[in-house]
């Protein structure tokens, strides 16, 4: 398993449009990519589930994955969480 912790800096958090970009990117990886925020977990490949996490500005998020491309997937999703707005 590979994991990374990031803080969301987007002024309005990760709302529907940036979350859709994140999901599209996550679906390109064969591994299971998960996002954990405030004790809740969701697949990075599910827009609906991501929206239940409360991905607001300033919250700390843990991104983790298992599988062949886990490190690449986690790094890409973590980068998007830090830069999308």
Count: domains in the chain? 1
Query: Known catalytic residue: 12?
Result: no
Confidence of residue 36 (pLDDT cuts 50, 70, 90): very high
Task: Tell whether the model's pLDDT for residue 85 goes beyond 80.
Answer: no
Quick one: what percent of the chain has pLDDT higher than 70?
100
Please give the residue range of the domain that contains residue 7: 2-83
Q: How many whole angstroms separate alpha carbon 49 and alpha carbon 12? A: 18
Task: Tell me the CATH number at 49.
Answer: 3.30.1340.10
Question: Using one digit for the tens of pLDDT, what is the confidence trace for 53-76?
Answer: 999 999 999 999 998 899 999 999
Catalytic residue among 15, 32, 46, 82: 15
Give the burial string for 42-73 (b: 16+ CB within 10 Å, else e). bbbbeeebbeebebeeebebebbbeeeebeeb
């Amino acid at each position: 398993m590979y994991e990374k912790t990031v803080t969301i800096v987007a002024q309005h958090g990760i709302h529907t449009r940036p979350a859709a970009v994140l999901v599209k990117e996550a679906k390109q990886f064969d591994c299971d990519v998960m996002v954990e925020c405030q004790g809740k977990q969701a697949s990075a490949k599910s827009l609906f589930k991501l929206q239940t996490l409360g991905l607001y500005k300033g919250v700390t998020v843990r991104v983790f994955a298992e599988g062949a491309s886990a490190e690449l997937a986690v790094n890409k999703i973590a980068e998007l969480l830090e830069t999308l707005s």
